Amino acid sequence: MKQDLAFFGFVLSVAIILILIFPERSGDVISVSFEFFVEMILILPAVVMLMGLFTVFVPRDLVVRYLGKESGIRGIFVAMLMGALPTGPLYIAFPIASTLIKKGARISNIVVFLTAWSCIKIPQELVELEFLGFRFMLVRLTLVAISAIFMGLIIEYCCKR
């Protein structure tokens, strides 16, 4: 809690300093900050309720089986699919990732999940296909998937728990 308040104080201080340096932008800063705050207030309660339901109703052994240390390549694909299917802001994925870790998910699979959430979306892929073509979409999707897997393995290796 103290770290959260310290971080909030730091961000608020930086915002105030920037507003003092660039007063012509203060209206935009306040407007965008308020819109983001309202968006979070509307979304986060639902996310917290879903996380509570997930914590209670999804058994730990299910998460371990599909995303745990022994899940192998299947775990990577499950994590990628879990990240690619939902739409919504990235900050929703972090409470989900935290709950998955607490239930025994492998760190590399969490990194793949978060990367897929931020870089691979089924609707996004369809729009990309329409405007940039199949080859572009396939190459980008392949590179993101490979990068996500390598990032996950490297982070898991560096952050052994």
Q: What is the mean pLDDT of residues 51-61?
A: 89
Contact 147, 115 (CB under 8 A): yes
Separation between Cα atoms, residue 88 and residue 84, nearest integer Å: 11
Q: Is residue 130 part of a domain?
A: yes
Q: What is the mean pLDDT of residues 71-99?
A: 91
State the first-to-last Cα distance of the chain, in angstroms, to the nearest integer: 23
Mean pLDDT value across the chain = 91
Residue 107's domain comprises: 26-158
Q: Is the pLDDT of residue 152 over 90?
A: yes
Nearby residues of 64 by Cβ (< 8 Å), 6 or more positions away? 70, 71, 103, 104, 105
Q: State how many domains the chain has.
A: 1
Q: Is the pLDDT of residue 92 over 80?
A: yes
Q: Is residue 64 part of a domain?
A: yes
Give the whole-number percent of the chain exceeding pLDDT 70.
99
Q: Is the pLDDT of residue 133 over 90?
A: yes
Q: Is residue 12 part of a domain?
A: no
Q: Is the pLDDT of residue 67 over 80?
A: yes
Separation between Cα atoms, residue 106 and residue 45, nearest integer Å: 27
pLDDT at 37: 87
Q: Is residue 9 part of a domain?
A: no
